[in-house]
Amino acid sequence: MVRSQSWTRFARDVEGVYTDLGRRPLTLCKLAQVLRELAALEDSNGQKMIRSAADLTTRVIARWRALYDPVRSPVTQAGLLSYIRAIANYAVSAARSRRSMAPLICCTAARITPRFLAIALEPSPER
């Protein structure tokens, strides 16, 4: 079994892929923002929710939404959710290919489907 990669190393690898692909500086900035926000998430006990790539689960994404939905516009959240989707899909692809990095991803975040995003993008009842 392949061990999961630390979140710090995983984030650096994802940023490296985006840089190597020649993405625009704003794209890299938004990607880095999402990676930092995910890394900073804490559960109700004050413990980090993400320590490795395997910790990127639906629960973590829901916690991220709960923190940032009230303070951001729906359009901004939709854009940032697309980065989370790309991050999760990259992690799954890397784990499947078992190339230089191979994080194990919890099956709940295996693929963020269009249906999940449609549910995730629904405005919160407070709005």
What is the pLDDT at residue 63? 93
111 three-state secondary structure: coil
Q: How far apart are CA 115 and CA 127, in angstroms?
A: 21
Write down the mean pLDDT value for the chain. 78
Residues 6-59: tens digit of each pLDDT: 899 999 999 998 898 888 999 999 999 999 999 999 998 999 999 988 888 889
Give the long-range contacts of residues 39-46, CB within 8 A, separation 24 or more. Answer: 39/7, 39/8, 39/11, 41/67
What is the pLDDT at residue 109? 44
What is the pLDDT at residue 60? 92
Q: How far apart are CA 124 and CA 87, in angstroms?
A: 24
Q: How far apart are CA 127 and CA 118, in angstroms?
A: 17
More confident position, 104 or 14: 14
What is the pLDDT at residue 83? 94
pLDDT-wise least confident of 3-17, 69-83, 94-108:
94-108
What is the pLDDT at residue 11? 93
